[in-house]
Amino acid sequence: MTAIPGHVSALAQERAVARIEKDFARSDQLRDEIAATGWLIKDTAEGYSLIQAPPFSLTANLGALVDQFSQSIAGATSVLVIVDGWPEDTHSSLSALLKNVPAETQVIVMDCGNIDGAGVVVHELAKVHGNLFEFHFTQTLAELGWANVVNAAIALSSCEFFAVMDLSTFWEGDALTPVLEVFADPQVALSGWRGVNVDVSQEWREFTSAEVGSVDAVLGYFLVARSSVVAEVGPDSKAKFYRNADMEWSLAIRAVGYDVRIPPGVLPLRQERHHGYHDSEPEYREKQSKKTYDRILQKFRKTPDILHVS
């Protein structure tokens, strides 16, 4: 680890004093002076930490994204991958995706916080893959919110279809083409790898697995949407955590009259450890998941006619 230069430490200490004195204008000025030296300061519960700036530009928040990237991402399909750590999976999963998607597919990677250097992995892959668009944020995914990140990526893309893929999903072949075939029916707005149906006998408290055909929801391991629809019906911005947010999004699409459909056959995908769930902070995971599920019940349980017809 590179030692922190003395003049950088001095600026950081001066900034800490400015914050205690609530001189936030001076605090912001010092933060920028520190950044100009090639170091970043992050406020913590204990005070602050200093890290070397990564070899790519950082965006402070999603609102600042427009200033960094003003053009739209064009192509047949864009695939969003959210990265919030796990550099080994980041490299392996993205490499498999880039190897197997059709050539005209654009891959959008939103790196949240460069956790454990995962953002550096994304940056290195972007150097050799012209269809990988990298965006790096100083904030973590918990700070940005899952739905907000997805909606930001939707706004960036002008592709006909918009996909979301989790880092736990690994491609072993072209999984996109068979999914896109179901969109030949203009009534279909959402498709993907794994579907679920609401168990109405349990008062909507449970979902059951659904492998093919019209379903109530598609899970976010790999889902594909018609962009013209999700530009109007994106995931609920209140969904900070992914769990249940994919089902809430699916039901919202069904609620405006579109079908959600899983293609026939077996897609060439496999799932590895789902860090986003298993290695997330349990209290945060359960709290945010419950909030989203409560919204599902409030918004949709009184309208069972939106569900698929067997």
Helix (H, G, I), strand (E, B) or coil at 248: helix
For the chain, which residues make up each domain, given as ranges? 6-52, 62-306
Residue 1 clears pLDDT 60, i.e. is over it: no
Give the per-residue pLDDT at 307: 96
Q: Determine contact, residues 283/263, Cβ cutoff 8 Å.
A: no
pLDDT value, residue 71: 79
Mean pLDDT of 106-115: 95
pLDDT at 184: 98
Q: Across residues 102-106, what is the average pLDDT?
A: 95
- 263, pLDDT greater than 60: yes
Stretch 192-200: mean pLDDT: 97
- Rounded to an integer, the average pLDDT of 253-274 is 97
Of 35-49, 118-132, 138-152, 155-169, least confident by mean pLDDT is 35-49
**Section 161-182 average pLDDT:** 98
Percent of the chain with pLDDT over 90: 82
Rg of the chain, C-alpha, whole Å: 21
d(CA 62, CA 69) in angstroms, rounded, equals 11
* pLDDT band at residue 310 using 50, 70 and 90 as cut-offs: low
Fold entry, domain 62-306: Spore Coat Polysaccharide Biosynthesis Protein SpsA; Chain A (3.90.550)
Mean per-residue pLDDT of the chain: 94
Mean pLDDT along residues 266-288: 95
**Candidate from 40-49, 236-245, 288-297 with smallest mean pLDDT:** 40-49
Cα–Cα dist 223/59, whole Å: 27
DSSP codes of every residue in 106-129 = EEEEEEES-GGGHHHHHHHHHHH-
- Quick one: residue 116, left, alpha or beta (phi over 0 = left, psi -120 to 50 = alpha)? left
Backbone angles phi, psi at 55, to 5 degrees: -85, 40
Residue bearing the bigger pLDDT, 60 or 27: 27
Given a cut of 90, whether residue 123 has pLDDT beyond it is yes
| Digit-coded pLDDT (tens) for 62-99 | 988 877 787 789 999 999 999 999 999 999 999 999 99
pTM, 2 dp: 0.87
